């Protein structure tokens, strides 16, 4: 179901030969209206892929009729030819659906530098195959078609008061701030303006996808899109909508974290009593990006010294010698000195919780990351991606 759970959306996922495996690699989602409100957030990487450059133009007027996504090639650093490919892809969707190409978002994911004539031909052929396959039953096929090194599709549905939100996501590595190597499509049949969608989406991504930092690497192709059909005719309570949207983003972010390349632990780094939320995020992210800490978690070693060494590199407000650190509920460092012995911490469960108490203020934030494993190195050295 996922993106087709809300009324007014149809989808398809087809195989266009972009993936060498022959798996589905082109996804199409159409909004049938009556509203065509849309909003999107994009990677903050300055090296933006051609589909990002295209989509940023499209979403400017807040009207989105369809979104087409491909795996098997990022169409990034492929020059003006690559930008024309994104444009032609949107045109192919528009021609087939009788809509304007200026209302068609484009997303690509895969290897940077892939986006030549062969890529273009296959994507456009895939669009032509996808159009007749569009159906309210094919949301799952669309979720399958956007997978790259994902081991499973990511989907979620949340019910509101007479309306619903559905979403799909892909992403397995390069998960970092300002989004991740993620493509996310979220749909709703509630009645909302594009400005309302934009505000709700930015608010939700800020505390979900933006706080997932699997490997510190920021993608060139990230895009999180929210589309509203208004098909239920129901204008939702905005706070209620924001909460439900937050839930679906949180679910998809957790699915991305759980399927991160090669990971054997899902680590939640909770920073409490920070002076500001920005401080809490900076501290959490610094620990999330510390390879020595991440390798220690892989080895089930509660090496709190590596946590504090990472905290010490930040500009956040704190006294380095007043901090407490707990791991999976055991306080291993109290006021900057050893507390419970390392042997009392069990890091064997996949779910790992690190609590850092800065003892300064009242702000808090949680950053999600993964451990650094042999499988991560293997997946990212043995194959180009």
Of the residues 65, 220, 225, 268, which one makes contact with its own copies according to CB under 8 A:
220
Alpha-carbon distance of 45 to 220, in angstroms, equals 6
Rounded-to-integer distance, Cα 305 and Cα 344, Å = 16
Closest of 136, 145, 180, 168 to residue 251, by C-alpha:
168
**Min. distance of Cβ 189 from its own copies in angstroms?**
36
Q: 148 a known binding residue?
A: yes
Closest CB to its own copies among 142 and 308?
A: 308
Q: Which is nearer to its own copies, 217 or 242 (CB)?
A: 217
Strands 266-274 and 324-327: unpaired
Helix (H, G, I), strand (E, B) or coil at 271: strand
- Is 248 within 8 Å of 158 (Cβ atoms)? yes
Q: Look up residue 252 and give its two tokens.
A: 């998809």
Regarding 117 and contact with its own copies (CB under 8 A), the answer is no
Q: Is 377 in the site for its own copies (CB under 8 A)?
A: yes
> Is there binding between residue 296 and its own copies (CB under 8 A)?
yes
What are the DSSP E strand ranges found in 59-177? Answer: 66-70, 104-108, 154-159, 164-170
Which among 288, 376, 307, 291 is positioned nearest to 345, based on CA atoms? 307
162-191 positions binding its own copies, by CB under 8 A = 173-174
Taking CB under 8 A as the rule, does residue 265 contact its own copies? no
Residue whose C-alpha is closest to residue 303's, from 369, 354, 370: 354
Number of residues that bind its own copies (CB under 8 A): 59
* Residue among 155, 198, 215, 266 that touches its own copies (CB under 8 A): 215
Min. distance of Cβ 14 from its own copies in angstroms? 26
- Annotation: binding site for substrate: 148, 170, 181, 261, 380, 385
Residues at the site binding its own copies, with contacts judged by CB under 8 A: 45-48, 74, 76-79, 111-113, 173-174, 215-220, 289-292, 295-296, 298-299, 301, 303-306, 308-314, 320-321, 333, 335-338, 342, 372-374, 376-378, 380-384
């Amino acid at each position: 179901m996922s993106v087709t759970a809300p009324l007014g959306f149809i989808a398809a996922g087809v195989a266009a030969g972009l993936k060498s495996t022959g798996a589905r690699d082109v996804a199409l989602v159409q909004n049938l209206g009556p509203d065509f409100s849309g909003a999107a957030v994009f990677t903050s990487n300055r090296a933006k892929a051609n589909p990002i450059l295209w989509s940023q133009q499209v979403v400017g007027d807040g009207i989105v009729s369809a979104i087409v996504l491909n795996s098997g090639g990022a169409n990034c650093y492929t020059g003006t030819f690559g930008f024309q490919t994104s444009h032609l892809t949107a045109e192919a969707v528009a021609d087939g659906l009788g809509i304007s190409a200026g209302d068609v978002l484009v997303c690509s994911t895969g290897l940077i530098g892939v986006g030549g004539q062969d890529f273009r031909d296959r994507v456009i052929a895939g669009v032509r195959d996808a159009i007749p396959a569009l159906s309210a039953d094919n949301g799952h096929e669309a979720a399958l078609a956007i997978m790259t090194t994902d081991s499973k599709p990511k989907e979620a549905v949340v019910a509101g008061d007479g309306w619903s939100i559905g979403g799909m996501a892909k992403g397995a590595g390069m998960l970092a701030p300002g989004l991740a190597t993620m493509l996310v499509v979220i749909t709703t049949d509630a009645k909302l303006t594009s400005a309302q969608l934009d505000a709700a989406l930015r608010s939700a991504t800020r505390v979900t996808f933006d706080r997932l930092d699997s490997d510190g690497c920021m993608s060139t192709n990230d895009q999180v899109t929210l589309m509203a059909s208004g098909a239920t005719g129901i204008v939702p309570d905005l706070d209620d909508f924001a909460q439900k949207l937050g839930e679906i983003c949180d679910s998809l972010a957790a699915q991305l974290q759980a399927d991160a390349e090669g990971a054997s632990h899902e680590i939640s780094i909770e920073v409490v009593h920070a002076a500001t939320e920005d401080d809490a995020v900076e501290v959490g992210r610094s620990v999330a990006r510390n390879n020595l800490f991440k390798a220690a978690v892989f080895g089930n070693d509660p090496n709190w010294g590596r946590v504090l060494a990472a905290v010490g590199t930040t500009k956040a407000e704190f006294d380095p010698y007043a901090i407490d650190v707990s791991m999976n509920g055991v306080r291993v460092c109290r006021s900057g000195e050893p507390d419970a012995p390392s042997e009392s911490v069990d890091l064997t469960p996949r779910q790992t919780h690190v609590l850092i108490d800065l003892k300064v203020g009242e702000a808090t934030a949680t950053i999600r990351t993964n451990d650094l494993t042999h499988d991560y190195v293997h997946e990212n050295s043995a194959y180009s991606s």
